[in-house]
């Protein structure tokens, strides 16, 4: 197990990069997923169709395929996803700004894929709000957007937060694919370097890697349990 001590910096570096990838992808997935959810319940039929098509495609495709299209399809379209080189943001998340585009492709693939699940979690929250709430809001003259903003979403949020958390936990675990699509030095990829390039024993290395993921997912899980318990007390 000495590899955990000897190469502690490698694990920390991998953890840090995976963490950055997950933060950016979670923000992207939550924003895009919320947008798609609103589209799916919008009174405008074409928006509903687009929303439904989005969920159908991205929820039903393997992540590997989505990622493949991001990592190979975008370059084929002559794009290096440079729109994600946002000046202020790339000073915090340094990988966003570098010339190699694979970190940006990873953010895009994870965000697109996860957004479909975020959309469905938010929509299940919206469906949990009694229809009388939206009806009363319409009856006093609120428009569709005001209805969502002031009446439906604040209540939907409460029942969506726990399933949303599960979606994000799944996303963190899914980020382990990043190494296969060129993101050098993320948590799973650093394990490969240690085993194949430096000849470190496999089992201890992967124990270290799993600890890295658990450090992200377990606290999130505990936080969700807390929120759920508080809800259960409030409902009594």
Partner 1 sequence: MTERSDAGVVAGATTTDRPLIRLDGVNKWFGPLHVLQDVDLSVARGEVVVVIGPSGSGKSTLCRAINRLEPINSGTITFDGQPLPAEGRALARLRSEVGMVFQSFNLFAHKTILENVTLGPTKVRKEKAASVRDRAMKLLERVGIANQAEKYPAQLSGGQQQRAAIARALAMQPKAMLFDEPTSALDPEMVGEVLDVMTSLAREGMTMVVVTHEMGFARHAANRVIFMADGQLVEDAAPDEFFANPRSERAKDFLSKILTH
Give the C-alpha separation, 3 to 103, whole Å: 27
The smaller minimum CB distance to partner 1, of residues 45 and 62, is found at: 45
Nearest 5°: the CA angle 102, 66, 181 is: 30
Using CB under 8 A, which of the segments 90-98, 140-148, 186-194, 223-231 binds partner 1? 140-148
Would you say 42 or 61 has its CB closer to partner 1? Answer: 42
Q: What is the DSSP string of 141-185?
A: T--HHHIIIIIIHHHHHHHHHHHHHHHHHHHHHHGGGGGGGT-TT
Smallest distance from partner 1 to CB 92, Å: 34
Cβ-contact 20, 100 below 8 angstroms: no
Query: Among residues 98, 150, 198, 218, which is the contact residue for partner 1, using CB under 8 A?
Result: 150
Site for partner 1 in 108-137 (CB under 8 A): 130, 132-133, 135-137
Helix (H, G, I), strand (E, B) or coil at 89: helix
* Percentage helix, strand, coil for the chain under 3-state DSSP, each rounded to 5: 85, 0, 15
Q: Looking at beta carbons only, is 110 or 152 nearer to partner 1? A: 152
Shortest Å distance, C-beta 45 to partner 1: 12
3-state secondary structure of 22: helix
User: Which residue in 140, 197, 232, 233 binds partner 1 (CB under 8 A)?
Assistant: 140
Please provide the size of the chain in residues.
Answer: 236
Which one of 85, 138, 161, 217 is in contact with partner 1 (CB under 8 A)? 138
Give the footprint of partner 1 on residues 28-47 (CB under 8 A): 43
Number of residues that bind partner 1 (CB under 8 A): 18
Contacts with partner 1 by CB under 8 A lie at 43, 130, 132-133, 135-143, 146, 150-151, 154-155
């Amino acid at each position: 197990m000495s590899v955990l001590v000897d190469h502690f910096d490698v694990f920390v570096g991998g953890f840090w990069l995976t963490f950055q990838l997950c933060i950016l992808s979670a923000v992207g997935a939550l924003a895009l997923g919320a947008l798609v959810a609103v589209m799916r319940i919008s009174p405008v039929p074409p928006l509903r169709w687009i929303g439904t098509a989005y969920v159908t495609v991205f929820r039903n495709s393997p992540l590997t395929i989505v990622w493949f299209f991001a990592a190979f399809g975008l370059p084929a379209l002559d794009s290096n996803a440079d729109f994600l080189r946002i000046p202020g943001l790339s000073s915090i998340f340094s990988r966003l700004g570098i010339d190699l585009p694979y970190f940006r492709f990873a953010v895009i693939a994870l965000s697109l894929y996860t957004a479909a699940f975020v959309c469905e979690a938010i929509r299940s929250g919206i469906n949990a709000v009694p229809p009388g709430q939206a009806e009363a809001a319409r009856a006093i003259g609120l428009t569709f957007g005001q209805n969502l903003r002031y009446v439906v979403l604040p209540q939907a949020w409460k029942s969506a937060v726990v399933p949303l958390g599960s979606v994000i936990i799944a996303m963190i675990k899914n980020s382990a694919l990043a190494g296969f699509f060129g993101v050098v030095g993320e948590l799973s990829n650093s394990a490969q370097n240690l085993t194949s390039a430096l000849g470190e024993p496999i089992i201890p290395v992967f124990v270290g890697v799993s600890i890295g993921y658990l450090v992200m997912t377990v606290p999130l899980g505990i936080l969700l349990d807390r929120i759920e318990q508080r809800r259960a007390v409030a409902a009594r």
